[in-house]
Every structure is written in structure tokens, then in C-alpha cells.
Amino acid sequence: MLPSYIQKCERGEFSYENPTIEKQTAAFTIVDAKNNIGAVSMNYITEVAIKTAMKEGIHTVFSRNANTFGAGFYYVEKIANASMIGFACCNAPAAMPAFNGLEAILGTNPLAFSFPTKSYGNVVMDMATSVVAKSKFGIAKEKGEKLKEGWALNKDGEPTTDPEEGIKGLVLPMAGFKGYEIAMMIDTLAGFLSGSGYLNKVGKFYSQTGECMNVGHMVVAFNPKILYEGEFLTAADNYIKLIKESQSIKGQQIIIPGENKRKYKRKAMKEGISLPLEVVKKTGI
């Protein structure tokens, strides 16, 4: 996506106006993202959620007139770093069908969640509601690889492992009907409840119209110091310890969400980030 962000910036498709608060109560805040870069507006509403939850115990912030926010784990981990529990979600351009459907009607609508511990670092979850990101279809096509079974339908609604057919067709929800339900839930909360686009009314990131995608963002911060009776970090440690010490498959290790991301981050900080040659060429790095 990095080359596309650079191109959109060069074409002047983002406004760069500062997001503004339209309505605020103790329980929630509604923000106009002003068609700024999604990461900018999402970072802003995360800061609002943290600041208000410090006082109120819990706070929900919505933004509209927004663009896709990228990796959700960054924002919820920011909340965890403030010793709170974070939840975030946004809707996305239509790429998945309704159950038994043949039309792209729902986005891959991602969600993220994080909470801090004393000894195990932040527990971090970040996932799309599709079985896989549709961008992997293009990667498979470039590598001459097949898609895994259960990832895609062709334009006629038939299962396919051909990446070209998958690109022209549909990506499937994770866990079948359950993924479809969760995608609808996120579209309801982050989408039309916030006054943003929803279903196939959300704009495409890769379009060159210069118009705002009008996705909806939602972030919630929970302050354990106000909500929890006791020492939350100690309780969180005990919670993770029980999971870690549960019986594992022979030769395997119990993994907590966020562990692998920390390993990759440490490696990247030490060795740098490896980028595909094609990305380097497109970005001019």
C-alpha cells in the first residue's frame, strides 16, 4: 500500500486538515476526520479516547469522513501503553458477499484489541473478518502460485484457487457465517452508527477520484484503574500465566497474541525492514 499512499499524496487526494470534534459527551465523541490520511485521524481519536477514559473510566470515539487506518494493532497498543484496554475497528470497501450471496456487499472490516500485563508485554490482537486479505490474491498471481482452498469464489460464485479469478471474484469471510456476522457488526458500529459510509457505499482506496473513502473508525478505551477492583496488571499476569501453563501439543509452545509481532519488531529494529524490490522501485526509496 505504501506506493499507493505516496501516489495519493502526490495527487492531492487527502485534505491534511486537522480532525475536529463535532459532538462530545462523557460516554462518546464524534469526530470529523476531514478526509485526512486515515492514520492521522485514527491516531487523533485514539488520543481523545485515552484522555477521556482517564477521567470517565471508558470512552468511545467515532470518526467519519475518514480513510482506511492501516494496521489496527498500532492504535490499541497505544492504549495498552497507557495502562488501559483498547478496542478498535473500521469498515472497509466491499469485497465479501453476504452468506449465500454473489455480490461484494461487505468489507473485510478489521478489528483490533489489546491489554497490558506486568510481565508478558501487551497482549495484541489484530485481524480482518475475511479469511485472508484480498491483497494476497495479487501476490499469489505475481508469484505464479495457487490460492488456498476456501479463500475465494469466482465471479459465478464457484470456489476457486486461481488468483486471477479470485481478484475478479470475492474473498470469503473467516469462519463462514460467523465471520459474516462479525463483519456486519463492525459495519453497524463503525459505519452507519458513526454517520459514515457502509456496505458498498464505502469508497475504494485504489480509486483515483480524489474523493474521501468515508470509512468509519471506532475506538474504545477502558480504564482498569476505575473499572477494576484490584491490581489489574497483576490479574492480567495471572490470566496469561494460566494460558501459558496449559498443556500444549507435544513439541509446540503456547503462543499469546502479540508475541510474534514483538519478535518481528525486535528483529526489524536490529536488522532493518526488508522490502520487495518492486516496492522500492515504486516508492523511490
DSSP string over 80-138: HHTTSEEEEEE--S--BPPTT--S--B----EEEEE--SSS--EEEEE-SBSS-THHHH
Domain parsing of the chain, residue ranges: 1-129+175-284, 131-172
Q: Could you say which architecture CATH assigns to the domain 131-172?
A: 2-Layer Sandwich (3.30)
Q: How many other C-beta atoms lie within 10 A of the C-beta of residue 161? A: 15
Asked if the model's pLDDT at residue 282 lies above 80, the reply is no
- What does the pLDDT look like over 58-68, one tens digit per residue? 999 999 999 99
Q: Which CATH number fits domain 1-129+175-284: 3.40.50.1820, 2.40.50.140, 3.30.1370.60, 3.40.1080.10?
A: 3.30.1370.60
d(CA 127, CA 111): 6
- What does the pLDDT look like over 85-141, one tens digit per residue? 999 999 999 999 999 999 999 999 999 999 999 999 999 999 999 999 887 898 888
pTM reported for the whole predicted model? 0.91
- What does the pLDDT look like over 72-85, one tens digit per residue? 999 999 999 999 99
Quote the pLDDT of residue 211: 84
- What does the pLDDT look like over 194-252, one tens digit per residue? 999 999 999 988 776 778 999 999 999 999 999 999 999 999 999 999 999 999 999 99
d(CA 177, CA 97): 11
Asked if the model's pLDDT at residue 276 lies above 80, the reply is no
Q: How far is CA 13 from the centre of its chain?
A: 22
d(CA 195, CA 30): 9
d(CA 111, CA 128): 6
Question: By the 8 A CB rule, do 254 and 242 touch?
Answer: no
Sorting pLDDT into bands at 50, 70 and 90, what band is 164? very high
